[in-house]
Amino acid sequence: MTEPVPSAHLAQIMCDARARTLELVRGLDDQQLIGPKLDIVNPLVWEIGHVAWFHEFFILRRMYGRPSLLAGGDAIYDSIRIAHDTRWDLPLVPLDKILVYMKNVLEALLERLDGSTASEQDSYLYQFTTFHEDMHDEAYTYTRQTLGYPEPRFHGARRPADADAGPLPGDVDVPGGTFLLGSARDAPFVFDNEKWAHPVTVAPFRIARAPVTNAAFAAFVDEGGYGRPEFWDDEGWRWREKAGAGHPVYWVADGPGTWAVRRFDGVADAAPDQPVVHVNWYEAEAYCRWAGRRLPTEAEWEVAATAEPAAGGATLGTGKRRFPWGDEPVRASRANLDGHALGCIDVAALADGDSAFGCRQMMGNVWEWTNSTFDAFPGFSPDAYKEYSEPLFGTTKVLRGGGWATRGRMLTARYRNYYTPDRRDVFAGFRTCDR
């Protein structure tokens, strides 16, 4: 179960998440809030209503028996019952009224919190529903990118001083040994797919110090990598042909061997030393074959991010960190998270966030594809939101680490994200291992 936390903390993170949600829809007109019908996005005006409904349903209504604050809301905002393709055709609540509903739900949730420490039940539910809103806020951000909307404006955003620190080539050696993959039962907060820590045996391996950069990926593109079937598995080649892909989705040719990239509603140079982003699992795998490399397994990724070497360094020790740098909380000097930089930064930046083995940016900047299929760990059981993980087992690939728009409060280095291998709208890149 979740460790009880101060009520003031729950109130603060809920209000902060709601402020970010409002930042992400502010300034958009009615047509932009609906947007085109695409498989990879939701209508933003539907999605913000869903977030408020989710808070209300899981806490106020299901747990505490309160009546709904929005008549007919279940028939509009329940994402499990409402098919994705129908969400544009629903009798959606106008923006001004849905904002009132969101405000009323938030106020009711805040009024419930009393005393200095929340109950164990409230500590879990208030955090989970806030993290759910955080996940949607990241989705709103990449939706704005997908649809070419203006760059969002986040309060207090600023790039770190070393954002242009350059490349970070080379590998690090990680010793083999037995490692506890997943979350321990005494972890302060656990997502259901992290349950439970279990021993795995990992052979020694070499993994890149940093994610693959735009410059490195451009070499693959410029050498015709997208047109050479020997670098793609059968499923990936079928995707490439159907999509007509010849380069990352937002890249724009800017002269021979030169690439620009669309960012929201503008175009900028593809910064050579920033990580390549908006590439899918098939593209990452094809690059690895071209480069004579491979993607790490999920276990290898977590080892490189959280394990520590035993004395002498020949094997893995018994220690396991909460974050790559240790157990201290997330800070802007350690990880490019929370949207502060409003985009990616160079892969050599933020040395304070290095893992015990010298891997940089294993949290933040870009989500990193692994070669592992998302599946249940031994001892898995669903939590209050039973559809959070289980329906995606076996059909999606695991990503780790978080991207620049991910909220740091919901992450540890054990966090498991998952997308189908064709998704390249999300803030995903990858790092590689030596074969």
User: 95 falls in which pLDDT band (50, 70, 90)?
Assistant: very high
Q: What is the pLDDT of residues 298-334, one digit of tens each?
A: 999 999 999 999 999 999 999 999 999 999 999 999 9
N-term to C-term CA, the chain: 40
Whether the per-residue pLDDT at 229 is higher than 70: the answer is: yes
User: 1 falls in which pLDDT band (50, 70, 90)?
Assistant: low
Strands 259-263 and 266-269: antiparallel
Whether the per-residue pLDDT at 146 is higher than 70: the answer is: yes
With tokens 């593109």, the residue in question is 221
The CATH 3.90.1580.10 portion of the chain extends over 167-435
Give strand ranges (E) for 217-258: 251-253
Is 210 in contact with 361 (CB distance < 8 Å)? Answer: yes
Is 128 in contact with 11 (CB distance < 8 Å)? Answer: no
% of the chain residues with pLDDT over 90: 98
Q: What is the pLDDT of residues 402-428, one digit of tens each?
A: 999 999 999 999 999 999 999 999 999
Give strand ranges (E) for 272-391: 293-294, 307-309, 316-320, 367-373
Whether the per-residue pLDDT at 134 is higher than 80: the answer is: yes
Name the class of domain 7-146: mainly alpha
List the CATH code of the domain at 167-435.
3.90.1580.10
- Identity of residue 232: W
The CATH 1.20.120.450 portion of the chain extends over 7-146
Taking each helix axis from N to C end, the angle separating 214-222 and 281-291, rounded to the nearest 10 degrees, works out to: 80
Number of H helices, E strands in the chain: 10, 15
Measured CA to CA in angstroms, residue 159 lies from 17, 207, 332, 426 at distances of 21, 27, 9, 21
For residue 367, whether the previous peptide bond is cis, meaning omega lies within 30 degrees of 0, is no
pLDDT (mean) for 104-110: 98
pLDDT for the residue numbered 380: 97
pLDDT (mean) for 60-86: 96
What is the C-alpha to C-alpha distance for residues 310 and 422, in angstroms, rounded to an integer? 39
pLDDT for the residue numbered 198: 98
